[in-house]
Structure 1
Amino acid sequence: MRPFPKARVDALTDGIFAFAMTLLVVDIRVPDGVDVTSTDALWQALAGLSAQAVAYVISFFVLGAMWRNAVALRHDTDAVAARTLHLWLWFLLFVTMVPFSSALVGRYGQFPPAVWIYAANMIALGALSIPLHRMEVPQDARPQARRGERRMFVFIGSALASVLVSLWAPHYAMYAYLLNVLGRLPAFR
């Protein structure tokens, strides 16, 4: 039998783990039959999802550990430090939570908790991407990385602004993310 290219095996392995880790979040949603007409009702509905959320986080990190072990079986010359790998797994956890937080704010954006959960997801992504940029970017590309970091601070600021807006006018809170246009201004380049 002819040997298979290692890159193809790695790609399939990574793809299956990524797909499984992303699918975990699909079950975490407020059921359609739940009548959410107030902030308190939304909090109650979210509290009802706590067991699913705990199972999701545990399952994500179990799959992450299994993926890490699968990667360890491969002997690559480009190695990633354990600390970097752990940060990447946390980052990817929050990436896979985006469908949940997006659906929540899309359905219940008129209630502040939906905005807060979405903003917390975005803040976690922004905050985790900053040290990842610092660890992963080669020395000669640091100026570009600093621009990316400044944009992440604007991104985090826009998420915080959405939380503040949600305290007075939750249905306008998502417009705070338009502040990310500021990250494209010459001052941030």
Structure 2
Amino acid sequence: MRTFPKSRVDALTDGIFAFAMTLLVLELRLPPELPVHDSAALIAQLRALTPQYLAYVISFFVLAAQWRGAIELRRAEETTREALSWWTLYLFFITSVPFSTSVVGRHGDLAPAVWLYAANMIAVATLSLRLRMLEVLPEHRERASAGNLRIWLFIVTALLSIVASLIVPGHAMYAYFLNFLSWPLSRWRRLES
């Protein structure tokens, strides 16, 4: 079985995450031709950026959590051709996050924008689970289960955002804030085991 140096996969992964996280913030801008003549007008325009900023915050922390999960438990020095193929697909969806963030930031009051974002997030999370199965060493699998719980909660919140988009699309992105429960749930699960 042919293997590849893990350091090369890690370098590509770090670069893609850094670039994707940086691209997110470029969507946050006031139009240059905007006539702002006083503080009240500027505050009003900044408030109008709230949907884009919300999408940025969610996406930034999603990417940060995915990056942390990608580096957390991997200890092997090499990766297989199969894992490399899965990494490539995973990184494709990571690079798609700025686009889906842009769409939901600008059109989050429309259900299809929420669906696109949720589909991107579900793809990232599902591929993350697959990579954890391939890359986590057997002696770290029990520790990895806490990370898997966080990933499953993330998938559930993406699905909840889809359901919410059918009722109140403009508020569907708030479902992702349920992911803040993942840390106490993981800690509770570790205490139980």
With normalisation by structure 1, the TM-score equals 0.59
CA-based RMSD: 3.1
After superposition, give the CA deviation of every residue in 1:38-80 in whole Å (9 maximum; x if it has no partner).
xxxxxxxxxxxxxxxxxxxxxxxxxxxxxxxxxxxxxxx9331
Question: 2 CA distance for matches of 1:116 and 1:103?
Answer: 13
After superposition, give the CA deviation of every residue in 1:149-173 in whole Å (9 maximum; x if it has no partner).
1111100000000000000100110
Alignment: residue pair count:
128
Q: Which runs of 5+ in 2 are unaligned?
A: 1-7, 32-75
Residue pairs, 1:90-101, within 5 angstroms? 90-101=89-100
Tell me if structure 1 keeps the 8 A contact 2:16–2:95. no
3-state SS, counterpart of residue 79 of structure 2: coil
Query: In percent, how many aligned pairs have the same letter?
Result: 41
Considering Cα pairs closer than 8 Å and 6+ residues apart, tell me whether 1 or 2 has the greater RCO. Answer: 2
Distance apart, 1:14 and its partner CA: 4.3
Aligned to 2:87: 88
After superposition, give the CA deviation of every residue in 1:100-122 in whole Å (9 maximum; x if it has no partner).
00011000000000000000000
Question: 1 CA distance for matches of 2:152 and 2:16?
Answer: 27
Distance apart, 1:129 and its partner CA: 0.5
Question: 2 CA distance for matches of 1:110 and 1:182?
Answer: 25
3-state SS, counterpart of residue 110 of structure 1: coil
Aligned to 2:181: 182
With normalisation by structure 2, the TM-score equals 0.58
Distance 1:129 1:14, change over 3 A: closer
Between 1:169-178 and 1:78-87, the stretch displaced more is: 78-87
Tell me if structure 2 keeps the 8 A contact 1:119–1:159. yes
Aligned to 2:108: 109
Distance 1:188 1:153, change over 3 A: farther
Instruction: Give the aligned residue type for 2:182.
Output: G
Answer with 1 or 2: which has the greater Rg. 1
Distance apart, 1:142 and its partner CA: 1.1
Tell me if structure 2 keeps the 8 A contact 1:151–1:188. no
Moved over 4 A (4+): none
Tell me if structure 1 keeps the 8 A contact 2:16–2:91. no
Question: 2 CA distance for matches of 1:155 and 1:14?
Answer: 24
Q: Which runs of 5+ in 1 are unaligned?
A: 1-9, 33-76
